[in-house]
Amino acid sequence: MTRMDKVGRFATTISEYDNEWVVTYHSTNVIRVTNEQITLNSGGWRTNTTKNRMNQTSNQFGLGYRVFQKNFEWFVEFKGRIVPFRDGMVIHRVSGNVYTKYANES
């Protein structure tokens, strides 16, 4: 079921599947949210618009993370911690631990 919430004006949809909802920008699922975790994925498109969609979603739904760029590198801030952005990274909403497909960065 597609939600009617508005995150962006162009090429962005929010869909719900069981206990999860997904924000898709163009054809990339940039955010997946469950009660326990948030998964972030740029799909390799590290653009300002992708980053803005991620931050708009966090702000609109009170998810508490922020994606930002410094010296051409992306970072994520969550619960006072800053970690390098990696596609497929998982933020555990309660513990604040952040995991990537490469290594545990908690």
Query: pLDDT digit string (tens) for 35-90?
Result: 999 999 999 989 999 999 999 999 999 999 999 999 999 999 999 999 999 999 99
The Cβ of residue 93 has, within 10 Å, a number of other Cβ atoms equal to: 18
Q: How many domains does the chain have?
A: 1
The predicted model scores a pTM of 0.84
Mean pLDDT of 5-26: 81
- What's 42's DSSP letter? -
Asked whether residue 52 is assigned to any structural domain, the reply reads yes
pLDDT at site 94: 87
Residue span of the structural domain in which 45 resides: 12-99
In a 13 Å sphere around the CA of 71, the CA atoms on its Cβ side amount to 1
Q: In 1-106, which residue ranges form alpha helices assigned H by DSSP?
A: 48-61
pLDDT above 80: residue 1: no
In-domain check, residue 63:
yes
Of the candidates 72, 63, 17, which has an alpha carbon nearest to the alpha carbon of residue 39?
63
Residue 105 lies in a domain: no
Q: Is 75 a member of any domain? A: yes
pLDDT at 6: 55
